[in-house]
Structure 1
Amino acid sequence: MKSQMFSLILLAAAGTVHAQTQAQTASSTPSAASAPAASAPAASPAKFSVGPAEAYDVSRLPDDDYGRLVRYGKDLTDRTFAFIGPEVKNPKMRFAGNNLACASCHEASGTKKFAIPWVGAHAIFPQYRGREDQISTLEERVNGCMERSMAGKALPLDSVEMKAFVTYMHFLSRGIPVGSKVEGQGVPAFKAPDRRADTVAGSKIFEANCAACHGQQGAGIRAGAVGSATGYTFPPLWGKDSFNHGAGMNRLLTAAAFIKANMPLGTTYDQPKLSNEEAYDVAAFVLSHERPLKAHTERDFPARWNKPVDAAFPPYVDGASADQHRFGPYPPLQENMKKLKDSLMKTPAK
């Protein structure tokens, strides 16, 4: 499948299978109540790196139960729309709310360095998630993307599809011990310009670098007729068939970091085609458009000091405007949130 601009937030996070950007650091910090007691420093985890695509060739697996489930997981990643999308014939299988594929964001079937790869996902889950302020499993992370990036509903934990996703991630994580760092996870660190993003400049960058694939109106290019469950050759970036406003990709700093490392088509993190300024402005232009709304985003980040400054939905706790959270400038917000967190951490528990 060709490299594509956005998807999900499927993961994480890994995001998040995401190594986080500077703007995301706060979202992975446990609340004071959930923070572990101080202990002797542990040995530094081994370091690994996302390998070349051929290192994850599923065709080499035997035709047994494990191999078949891994291959189905890869198929689900590349053609999510064909198996659990909103246009599939069986209404009971319509779990995704849009016609994106997981690989719309997790490029190269979840194996491209700094395109939110799933390599090593099994080594970092379960993990603390600031959005929920609790330890989350890999299955819960998958469903977070189903409900946000895919704008749909959660997969049953015992479904073949959930098992296939997780088994495919297990395959991509072979040989990586629990707790190991994997260079290339998530998106690269991104230094935001200390100014409000310029959507007018972003529109010109979009026209010059993005519109040929994603369309003048950001609607993408369909692979077949509407209703055919064939998805997109290039995905929509906004509108009703895109990710919803609760997705990680709807955060400007995350989107800018992803774009810088992966867009336009053919870009790699070590040979970017856009500058930080250009990625920042074009991301703002994309995110300035309407998209599906996720219910109950006010429940996200219950430990409010964990909330990333570019999470552009209320409540806000720093006194800044909604516009600043949506379009920046972010360095002042990051500094304010750091001070807030530091003050809260110093306050004795009652």
Structure 2
Amino acid sequence: MVDIFLRDYDVYKLDDSEDHREVKLGYEIFMNTAQYIGPENGDPIKAYSGNNLACTNCHLAAGTKPYSGPLIGVIKRFPQYRGREDKIGTIEERINGCMERSMNGRMMPETAPEMTALISYLKWLGRYAPDDGKIEGQGFLEITIPERAVDLEKGAQIFTLNCVVCHTAEGKGMKKPVGPGYLYPPLWGDDSYNNGAGMTRVITAAQFIKGNMPFGVQYTNPTLSDEEAYDVAGYINQQSRPVKPHLEKDFPDLKKKPVSTPYPPYVDDFPIEQHQLGPFQPIMAFYKTKFNMEKTK
């Protein structure tokens, strides 16, 4: 792993210049999202997030942990093509994708002070990244996908053994002692990500879990095996969560829809249960044969 993750990302060492104040505000919004733009922030106009999660609940360590969707360099990878919208999108549009899905909320105006501050923080995080923004450790940790369906019974057992201490047996997480937000986020229920979020894809969730969970795990020394991460990801994502409207509009080119996307429509004839729980290899083989497309998630 290159030393870009060992650089100094401590915003509290910044001076009080106007630019650095905006960076620090972006960091605060990233870490305490519910306090600034959540449903209980005190100003309904600024309630862009529909739940009390924080950006750092998925992008761990303020977006600086390898293989947890780190945001170091991300600003330099935009504009970027996104299959979900089938167009070249801006970083602001990508943030709003999180607002509408992971945060179960609504779009934030691109000129809103909170959006400007988040962009400033991302630019500051990327100051050491190469010009193309690509770094080793971006995204999530690859796994070998088991050639079987998720075992929900085993997933429940793994959850009980490894996850309930932080997320509780009901998956409701652990709230901060003061103010809105969570020490450990809910994994399902009304205050969690909705069914349009990327984390509802079993393969994506398993990759995140393998490299980062239980909390504190490093990708170099994971606790769970690929199969355990796969089963517990499937168990978590079979639980009830908010429903995003108009999911049928996602992926205008349905061929580009990830095989583990848990909601239709699809361009194939595999049942929705198989898209949610696998096995995924037959679906991947179909896309390779029919469209010469290599699918990995």
Report TM bin, short chain: over 0.9
Amino acid in the other structure paired with 1:164: A
Q: Contact 1:156–1:162 at 8 Å: present in 2 too?
A: yes
Aligned to 2:236: 286
TM-score (norm 2): 0.95
Instruction: Show structure 1 runs of 5+ residues with no match.
Output: 1-46, 344-350
Does residue 200 of structure 2 align to residue 246 of structure 1?
Answer: no
Residues 233-284 of structure 1 show CA distances to partners (whole Å, capped at 9, x for unaligned) of 1110000000000000011000000000000011011110000000000011
Aligned to 2:141: 188
Residues 114-149 of structure 1 show CA distances to partners (whole Å, capped at 9, x for unaligned) of 111100112211111111111000000000000000
Report the Cα offset of residue 89 of structure 1: 1.2
Instruction: Show structure 2 runs of 5+ residues with no match.
Output: none
For the residue of structure 2 that corresponds to 1:128, the secondary structure is strand
Report the Cα offset of residue 340 of structure 1: 3.0
Amino acid in the other structure paired with 2:20: G
Report the Cα offset of residue 97 of structure 1: 0.4
Describe how 1:56-135 pairs up with structure 2 within 5 A. Answer: 56-135=9-88
Describe how 1:270-281 pairs up with structure 2 within 5 A. Answer: 270-281=220-231
Q: 1:116, 1:303 → 2: CA distance?
A: 25
Q: Contact 1:305–1:340 at 8 Å: present in 2 too?
A: no
Amino acid in the other structure paired with 2:227: E
Greater relative contact order, per chain length (Cα 8 Å cut-off, separation 6+)? 1
For the residue of structure 2 that corresponds to 1:207, the secondary structure is helix
Aligned match for 1:318, one of 251, 268, 282? 268
Report the Cα offset of residue 211 of structure 1: 0.4
Describe how 1:206-285 pairs up with structure 2 within 5 A. Answer: 206-224=159-177, 229-285=179-235
Q: Contact 2:4–2:129 at 8 Å: present in 1 too?
A: no
Does residue 1 of structure 2 align to residue 51 of structure 1?
Answer: no
Aligned to 1:17: none
Residues 71-95 of structure 1 show CA distances to partners (whole Å, capped at 9, x for unaligned) of 1111111100110011111111111
Give identity over the alignment, percent.
46
Number of positions where the alignment pairs a residue of Structure 1 with one of Structure 2: 293
Q: Contact 1:220–1:232 at 8 Å: present in 2 too?
A: yes
Aligned to 1:174: 127
Q: Contact 1:88–1:229 at 8 Å: present in 2 too?
A: no
Q: 1:337, 1:75 → 2: CA distance?
A: 43
Q: 1:229, 1:245 → 2: CA distance?
A: 26
Aligned to 1:33: none
